[in-house]
């Protein structure tokens, strides 16, 4: 697939409202191998032109990240944490980055979080563990780890937001949180209550930690329930993913309330799921008016 072919679906991609000079646009995307899909990332950046793109599951070591591809498009500022055999996360930006940090959850250096300050805003790219297939922490160590990760995130995020506020900074948390918290975030609420990503053990934890940190789910501000909103469709559906539309909303953008009050628009770049050899996730974008 050529870059020109990839750009065609993006020719009409727009977010209505302020110009880039007046706004900050943040995007998040679980790319499921950035080297395999670097031309798709480039096509998305070229078409949508977010100020910042947070990536998850880059699946490469830091020194193997294809930075040159993105610099050519004007994304000269990058924060990358990748390790061989681990998911990896990154932040690409057209604006300068500073104060880059990363946090290790559950005592593991498995490259699931990176943060950088952009225009006075702390932007976090986070990848929560998937949790395996069996929703029983006693029988499934992967699910037990996911619940422990969410429990630690609850304390850490509240503290992070408080520290940012004391320094006059706002916070945006983005990423593949691997939880679809609301009934309208999945194609069938009742059928998925025993399926990992939508079990009450996960959804209650995620909504509790978000509320305790005082964060706003900005996608649901612009696309309120009962509208169905999905960002992930299983590869098992093949080319029929759109026809069946059995998706889940696993990818999120949260912000502190002051920033949420300046939210102008959100978008789901659903067309990327139809590209050849796509990620099973699609980008989510949010645009905020600057102070």
pLDDT tens by residue, 90-135: 999 999 999 999 999 999 999 999 999 999 999 999 999 999 999 9
> Rounded CA gap, 253 and 286, in Å?
7
Asked whether 177 and 126 are in contact (CB, 8 A), the reply is yes
Mean pLDDT value across residues 83-91: 94
- Start-to-end CA distance of the chain, whole Å, equals 41
For residue range 223-262, what is the model confidence (pLDDT) as tens digits? 999 999 999 999 999 989 999 999 999 999 999 999 999 9
Asked if residue 10 has pLDDT above 80, the reply is: no
The pLDDT tens digits of the residues spanning 24-73 come to: 999 999 999 999 999 999 999 999 999 999 999 999 999 999 999 999 99
pLDDT exceeds cutoff 90 at 20: no
- Tell me: pLDDT of 8 over 50: no
Of 3 and 178, the one with more pLDDT? 178
pTM: 0.93
Where along the chain do its domains lie? Answer: 3-9+24-289
Mean per-residue pLDDT, 133-144: 98
Q: How does pLDDT run across 257-285, given as a tens digit for each residue? A: 999 999 999 999 999 999 999 999 999 99
Residue 1 pLDDT exceeds 80: no
pLDDT tens digits along 55-68: 999 999 999 999 99
Mean pLDDT of 179-184: 98
Average pLDDT score over residue span 147-161: 98
Q: What pLDDT is attached to residue 231?
A: 98
Is residue 15 predicted with pLDDT exceeding 80?
no
pLDDT at 12: 34
Please, which residues have CB within 8 angstroms of residue 41's CB and are 6 or more apart in sequence? 29, 31, 34, 53, 55, 69, 70
The average confidence (pLDDT) of the chain is 93
CATH of 3-9+24-289 among 3.30.2270.10, 1.10.357.10, 3.60.10.10, 3.30.420.40: 3.60.10.10
Query: In this prediction, what percent of the chain has a pLDDT beyond 70?
Result: 93
- Write down the pLDDT at residue 291: 83
pLDDT at position 117 is 97
Euclidean distance between CA atoms 168 and 186, whole angstroms: 36
Please check the confidence at residue 14 and state whether its pLDDT lies above 60. Answer: no
Percent pLDDT > 90 in the chain is 90
């Amino acid at each position: 697939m050529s870059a020109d072919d990839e750009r065609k679906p993006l020719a009409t991609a727009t977010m209505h409202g302020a110009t880039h000079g007046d706004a900050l646009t943040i995007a998040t995307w679980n790319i499921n191998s950035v080297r395999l899909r670097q031309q798709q990332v480039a096509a998305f950046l070229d078409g949508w032109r977010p100020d910042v793109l947070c990536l998850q599951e880059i699946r490469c070591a830091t020194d193997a990240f294809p930075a040159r591809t993105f610099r050519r498009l004007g994304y000269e500022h990058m924060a990358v944490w990748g390790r061989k055999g681990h998911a990896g996360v990154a932040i690409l930006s057209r604006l300068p980055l500073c104060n880059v940090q990363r946090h290790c959850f559950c005592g593991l250096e498995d490259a699931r979080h990176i943060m950088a300050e952009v225009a006075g805003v702390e932007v976090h790219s986070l990848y929560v563990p998937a949790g395996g297939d069996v929703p029983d922490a006693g029988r499934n160590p992967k699910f037990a780890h996911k619940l422990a990760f969410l429990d630690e995130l609850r304390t850490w995020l509240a503290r992070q937001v408080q520290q940012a506020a004391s320094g006059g900074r706002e916070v945006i948390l983005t990423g593949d949180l691997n939880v679809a918290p609301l009934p309208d975030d999945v194609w069938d609420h009742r059928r998925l209550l025993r399926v990992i990503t939508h079990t009450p053990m996960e959804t209650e934890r995620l909504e509790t930690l978000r509320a305790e940190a005082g964060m706003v789910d900005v996608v649901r501000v612009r696309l309120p329930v009962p509208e169905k909103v999905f960002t992930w469709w299983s590869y098992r559906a093949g080319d029929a993913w759109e026809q069946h539309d059995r998706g889940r909303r696993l990818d999120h953008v949260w912000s502190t309330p002051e920033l949420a009050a300046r939210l102008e628009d959100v978008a789901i770049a659903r067309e990327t799921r139809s590209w050849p050899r796509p990620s099973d996730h699609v980008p989510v974008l949010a645009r905020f008016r600057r102070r």
